[in-house]
Structure 1
Amino acid sequence: MDYRIEWPVPMDEYDWAIQQARGWLAVTVAWEGGRRAVEVYDPARLAQSVAVELDRLGHFTARDLLVVPSVTREHVEAAVSAIADEDFFRRR
């Protein structure tokens, strides 16, 4: 599947270092005929977010969640490529 990742803003090395430290990033994956927002987390940040939502709301939900070892451009691109090959973005 041909796709493109739409990053939130043009990101330089400093911006990527901040995103990696935060452990979370929202991106959009676009392809001919569609687009889908994806939330990208590292495992530690995801665990923190789940714990906060459980305390606050008593449950956690996430749509189009992608967990990578670390929120770096390389990990995000590799994961998106892998799930695009599995037609993840065309499924609902």
Structure 2
Amino acid sequence: MDFRIEWPAPMDNSDWAMQEMKGWIGGVTVVWDGGTRVFEVYDPVRLAQTVALEIEQIGRFTARSLLVVPSVTRESIETAISAMADRGFRE
């Protein structure tokens, strides 16, 4: 399936290095024939920290379209989204 990834902002290698260190990026939009989804992308460590903090502060954690990848790199995100596209975004 053909798809297009729209990043939240133009990013160079140093921007990607910063995102990988943060372990999180929001506003990753995927567009394909018949659909659009905006993902919040986390690595497992940052996700656990965010969940724990939000539960402590507000008693819950919510995320609309959550994508967890081994590390928040362009390659990891593109690989995960490509695998989802192979399944018609039915996950």
**Which residue of the partner structure matches residue 85 of structure 1?**
86
TM-score by length of 2: 0.91
Mapping of 1:40-79 within 5 angstroms? 40-79=41-80
Most deviating of 67-76 and 29-38 = 29-38
Mapping of 1:27-38 within 5 angstroms? 27-38=28-39
Gaps of 5+ in 1: none
TM-score by length of 1: 0.90
Gaps of 5+ in 2: none
Identity %: 64
RMSD between aligned alpha carbons? 1.4
How far does the alpha carbon of each residue in 1:38-83 deviate from its partner, in whole angstroms, 9 at most, with x for none?
Answer: 1100001100110111001211121210000000010000000011
Task: Return the offset for 1:86.
Answer: 1.5
User: Which one-letter code corresponds to 1:37 in the other structure?
Assistant: V
Aligned length: 90
